[in-house]
């Protein structure tokens, strides 16, 4: 039986977004639990689709003794504030020091954290921890599929294990794989490592593993382990809106010896490079998309989904852009639902006005991003909710949502789901909480790039990727990069940086 400390500290940083992540953002619960310390971790995370509980279940089954440290995450945003990073990392390290003798350490990190003072947040955390635990302690880290893998992470972790689905439905499973790898390292000692990078960025909507070429690529990665060519093989797409030198797709392979690790890493990155042309897909303009959806919805009873990807709060948008809403209302789309609009003030006014009342005001553009304007109109309050409900879809499965006061507003043929907390529209329960049955909508405009697919793709007639105003450009050429490494192509088959 081994004694393993466990913890987590997650942030996905869009260095181009307007709002930074403070300590309070990590402390607060959102779609995931808030900052949780010690034994409370076991109860709080039970059954949630996150790597940490996946690790806990598998490690307990393997007979290990677990020492819970702390876990926290904040919604994707701009840089993690220096104070927040130092306070949380400092506490994590203090907790590790207090554990006495450990046989292993598992961390549930994201892999795309940029702080005010470090380009590679996770690399910094791991380097500091490695310095105090010494070179021999097995440190296994699970990462998100959007991790921007860095050489520093690879150097200081004994093994990195990357999730394989986007929507991320296998987060718990990824934690389980990390636990299996930990057990292997404890029994048989360290593995050889090899990392390779691709030279082009893949926009988020095409990183989806429910469609090719990503689906096929991840099958190959999985087979590398299944067929015994690697002890562990991972591919991370990277998180494009991060202006850092090590942004982009990469593979990392662990094997018995360096020759095997290198050979498998070369083979996998070769496949990633060969898939480049397949990663270029259509980006719709908002009016064009709404007109197409209105036409198409006349001949089907399944909703057409417009992915409002550039305002995806899961990627640094604020979920407060009303640009696509404006197109739906002005083109007189019928049976449209727009979700989720993050606007606490409007939710409050709707609650004060009461059910069936109506009020006139400018909604949206709550966070003050430049270039976003409010949408002015007269809105009827169609439903109210307290924002407390259980998620039902595969992505947020089992999680208790706390979105604050919510309201369903109506204008023309469009209904608007308003929340008081920022949360990606990736679960049908968010709509049902306000009495909206997603299947009955003609058009669903969702502030999400890919995660919505887990719950919504099965009910959709067609899905369009729409470029309406927002802080998360789907075309990377719109981002003012300065720090990418030379030679990176901003889009598949595009010109080099």
Distance between CA 285 and CA 327 in Å, rounded?
A: 10
Q: How far is the CB of 173 from Zn ion (least distance, A)?
A: 15
Q: Residue 409: in which H helix or E strand, if any?
A: strand 406-411
Structure-token pair, residue 347: 């939710």
Structure-token pair, residue 124: 């910094």
Distance between CA 386 and CA 365 in Å, rounded?
A: 22
Complex with Zn ion: residue 96 or 171, whichever CB lies closer:
171
Q: How far is the CB of 168 from Zn ion (least distance, A)?
A: 6
Stretch that binds Zn ion, among 22-30, 140-148, 207-215, 483-491 (CB under 5 A): 140-148
**Count, residues near Zn ion per rule CB under 5 A:** 2
Complex with Zn ion: residue 177 or 442, whichever CB lies closer:
177
Q: How far is the CB of 239 from Zn ion (least distance, A)?
A: 7
Q: Which of 64, 67, 146, 193 binds Zn ion (CB under 5 A)?
A: 146
Stretch that binds Zn ion, among 141-149, 350-358, 408-416, 430-438 (CB under 5 A): 141-149
Complex with Zn ion: residue 146 or 397, whichever CB lies closer:
146
Measured in degrees and rounded to the nearest 5, phi and psi for residue 260 equal: -70, -45
Length of the chain: 497
Distance between CA 171 and CA 53 in Å, rounded?
A: 9
Stretch that binds Zn ion, among 139-147, 318-326, 346-354, 371-379 (CB under 5 A): 139-147
Distance between CA 249 and CA 254 in Å, rounded?
A: 17
Helices assigned H by DSSP within 317-376? 323-330, 344-353
Q: How far is the CB of 10 from Zn ion (least distance, A)?
A: 10
Q: What is the dihedral of CA 89, 56, 109, 49, to 10 degrees?
A: -130
Stretch that binds Zn ion, among 144-152, 196-204, 339-347, 394-402 (CB under 5 A): 144-152
Residue 208 · residue 426 · CB < 8 Å: no
Complex with Zn ion: residue 115 or 165, whichever CB lies closer:
165
Residue 264 contacts Zn ion per CB under 5 A: no
Beta bridge partners of 445: 306, 338
Distance between CA 471 and CA 372 in Å, rounded?
A: 9
Residue 156 contacts Zn ion per CB under 5 A: no
Complex with Zn ion: residue 144 or 243, whichever CB lies closer:
144
Q: How far is the CB of 463 from Zn ion (least distance, A)?
A: 19
Rounded to a whole number of angstroms, the distance between the first and last alpha carbons of the chain is 50
Residue 144 contacts Zn ion per CB under 5 A: yes
Q: How far is the CB of 113 from Zn ion (least distance, A)?
A: 12
Complex with Zn ion: residue 14 or 419, whichever CB lies closer:
14
Structure-token pair, residue 267: 């083979």
| Residues at the site binding Zn ion, with contacts judged by CB under 5 A | 144, 146
């Amino acid at each position: 039986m081994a004694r393993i400390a466990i913890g987590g500290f997650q942030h996905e940083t869009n260095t181009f977004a307007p709002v930074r992540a403070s300590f309070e953002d990590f402390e607060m619960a959102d779609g995931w639990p808030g900052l949780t310390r010690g034994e409370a971790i076991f109860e709080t995370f039970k059954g949630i689709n996150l790597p940490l509980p996946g690790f806990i279940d598998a490690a307990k089954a393997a007979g290990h003794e677990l020492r819970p440290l702390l876990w926290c995450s904040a919604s994707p945003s701009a840089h993690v504030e220096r104070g927040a990073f130092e306070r949380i990392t400092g506490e994590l390290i203090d907790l590790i020091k207090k554990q006495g003798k450990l046989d292993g350490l598992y961390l549930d990190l994201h892999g795309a954290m940029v702080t005010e003072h470090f380009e590679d947040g996770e690399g910094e955390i791991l380097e500091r921890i490695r310095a105090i635990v010494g070179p021999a302690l097995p440190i296994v880290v699970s990462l998100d599929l959007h991790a921007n893998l860095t050489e520093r992470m690879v150097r200081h972790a004994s093994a990195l294990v990357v999730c394989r689905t986007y929507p991320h439905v296998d987060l718990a499973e990824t934690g389980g794989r990390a636990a299996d790898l930990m057990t292997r390292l404890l029994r048989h000692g360290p593995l050889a490592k090899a990392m390779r990078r691709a030279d082009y960025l893949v926009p988020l909507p095409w990183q989806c593993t429910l469609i090719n070429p990503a689906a096929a690529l991840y099958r190959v990665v999985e087979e590398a382990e299944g067929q015994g060519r690697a002890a562990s093989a991972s591919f991370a797409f990277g998180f494009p809106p991060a202006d850092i030198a090590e942004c982009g797709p990469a593979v990392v392979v662990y094997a018995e010896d360096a020759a095997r690790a290198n050979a498998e890493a070369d083979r996998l990155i070769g496949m990633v490079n060969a898939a480049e042309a397949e990663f270029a897909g259509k980006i719709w303009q908002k009016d064009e998309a709404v007109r197409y959806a209105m036409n198409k919805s006349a001949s089907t009873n399944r909703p057409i989904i417009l992915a409002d990807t550039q305002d995806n709060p899961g990627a640094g948008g604020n979920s407060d852009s009303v640009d696509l809403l404006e197109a739906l209302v002005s083109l007189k789309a019928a049976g449209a639902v727009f979700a989720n609009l993050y606007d606490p003030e409007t939710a409050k006014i709707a609650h004060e006005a009461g059910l069936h009342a109506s009020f006139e005001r400018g909604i949206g553009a709550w966070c003050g991003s430049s270039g976003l304007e409010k949408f002015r109109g007269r809105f009827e309050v169609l439903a109210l909710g307290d924002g407390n409900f259980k998620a039902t879809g595969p992505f947020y499965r089992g999680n208790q949502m706390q979105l604050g006061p919510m309201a369903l507003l109506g204008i023309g043929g469009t209904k608007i789901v308003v929340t008081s907390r920022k949360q990606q529209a990736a679960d049908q329960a968010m709509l049902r909480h306000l009495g909206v049955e997603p299947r009955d909508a003609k058009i669903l405009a969702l502030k999400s790039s890919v995660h919505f697919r887990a719950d919504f793709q099965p009910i959709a007639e067609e899905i369009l990727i729409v470029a309406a105003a927002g802080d998360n450009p789907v075309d990377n050429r719109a981002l003012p990069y300065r720090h990418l490494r030379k030679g990176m192509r901003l889009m598949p088959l595009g010109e080099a940086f």
